[in-house]
Amino acid sequence: MTKDSSGSKRDLTRRAVFSGSLALAGAAAIARPNLSLASTAAPGIDVAKKTVRVGAFAPITGPVPFYAIINRASDAYFQELNASGGIQGWKVEYVVRDDGYEPARSVAVTQRLIEEDQVFALVASNGTAQNVAVIPVAKQHNLPIVGPSGGSPKLVAEPNIFPLLPDYALSAAACTEYSVDVLKKDKIALLWENDELGRAAKRGIDLYLSSLNKQTVVDASFNVRSTDFSAQVRRAAEANAEVTIIFGSNANLASALRAANAIGYKCDWFAPFFTADPSTYGLAKDLLNGVRFSSWLMPVDADNENVRRYREAIVKHYPKDPMGVFGLNGWTQASLFAAAFDRLVSSGNPITREGLIDALNGMSNVSVGASKNVTFSKDDHRGTRQETMIQAQDGKFRVVRDFTPYPSVVFNAKP
């Protein structure tokens, strides 16, 4: 027995091996699963016991340990899956190792997962720069990376990587389209984080508006650590912007809303999907009401069977973790692996990494976890092709538009 990162005891002989939990004691070492396989068809596959071992790297220590909520939710998914009979009788072992959110360590951890843990695939590997860093070693071993938690176009370009997280240019364009087509408002202010996240959002908004011979009335960048948005918000107010789209953290969003409230500036606000989280209400309070979010995930309080199962599983397995976008993300990434492995088993083809890649490439308009209409093909690994629009309303997040395809002018644009 050991303790997991939520503080509760767990038996590591069970299917789920959330190995990085030992970092609580300050150790980087991780409990290792039994590698004496009776009959192995491929790395991580025990045909006799009908088990498949998958892995991930996660920042259990380091600057953003709360991101490991993603992997604990994936673990909760696999625990629930195994308890209900698994995937056509196959049980899933999930090995998570700590990389401290350092890309160089992510590479070393991935090498260890391949060589020592003999994982079949990575599932919900954590971090954009981290996933990009492991591309060479994953390609060398033809290791499938299923549902990486990262939004780089470099991930979409790889034949063995299957992301759900969309390019932020698409989400930002969806916000802009909603403003113009649904709200009938085209005086748009853009506040964007001065890094790849914000630059991607700016690309999508500029491309969509230019197709209409329009442009933003305000274009203002900010540092991710910014806490004072009075200058940017005042520019939006002076330009009489009807809509403000901000692409940054939930803390950035809350600060901008407070700045607007301080000068009495009213407009329609849009923000990225990951800020549609109960923690943002904790920062912005009632100022968050009315803000809209274009999201590849349904809201965490949606009246949906898959989302309800997530909420129940987190309370059961990781009661100290908050229910929100991070956890729902991990639950959905694990769901993608389960759906693909089910397709592989049903196909009758050999259970190999190549077979899993083929199964993923054959997925079309599939609902997984809290996402809908997921599609992959050999030539296009943009799994998320539609988003829903949700809105903060009285402490909750409600769907105000069902899943809708991304604006074609942005979705079909050359990278």
For residue range 171-183, list pLDDT tens digits in order: 999 999 999 999 9
Instruction: Check pLDDT > 80 for residue 31.
Output: no
Whole-number Å distance between alpha carbons of 212 and 347: 46
Q: Which amino acid is at 58?
A: A
Tell me how far apart the alpha carbons of residues 105 and 110 are, in angstroms, rounded to a whole number.
Answer: 8
pLDDT of residue 195: 82
Q: What pLDDT is stored for residue 167 in this prediction?
A: 87
Looking at residue 77, its amino acid is Y
Q: What is the pLDDT of residues 146-165, one digit of tens each?
A: 999 987 888 999 999 999 99
**Amino acid identity of 367?**
S
The structural domain count of the chain equals 2
Q: Is 0.75 topped by the overall pTM?
A: yes
Q: Same domain, yes or no, for 246 and 307?
A: no
Same domain, 124 and 29: yes
At 57, phi and psi to the nearest 5?
Answer: -105, 145
Strands, E assignment, 283-385: 292-295, 366-368, 371-374
Distance of CA 110 to the CA centre of its chain: 19
| Residue the block writes with tokens 């160089």 | 104
| 14 shares its domain with 162 | yes
pLDDT greater than 80 at residue 18: no
> Is the domain of 325 the same as that of 215?
no
Task: Say whether both 128 and 138 belong to one domain.
Answer: yes
Share of the chain above pLDDT 70, in %: 90
Average pLDDT for 337-354: 97
Range of the domain at 199: 168-295+387-411
Q: What is the pLDDT of residues 55-90, one digit of tens each?
A: 999 999 998 898 899 999 999 999 999 999 999 999
Mean pLDDT of 48-61: 97
Q: Is the pLDDT of residue 34 over 60?
A: no
Q: Which residue has the tokens 């959330």?
A: 18
Same domain, 33 and 153: yes
395 neighbors 281 (Cβ within 8 angstroms): yes
The answer to whether 49 and 33 are in contact (CB under 8 A) is no
Same domain, 359 and 404: no
Distance in angstroms (rounded) separating the CA atoms of residues 253 and 241: 17
Reply yes or no on whether the pLDDT at 28 is more than 90. Answer: no
192 and 244 both lie in a single domain: yes
Confidence at residue 116, expressed as pLDDT on a 0 to 100 scale: 97
Q: Are residues 103 and 134 in the same domain?
A: yes
Q: What is the largest CA-CA distance in the chain?
A: 71
pLDDT value of position 41: 67
Shared domain for 146 and 120, answered yes or no, is yes
**pLDDT value of residue 404:** 95
CATH for 174 = 3.40.50.2300
Domain identity same for 59 and 187? no
**pLDDT average, residue stretch 28-54:** 68
78 & 152 share domain:
yes
Contact 120, 52 (CB under 8 A): yes
Question: What's the confidence (pLDDT) of residue 7?
Answer: 37
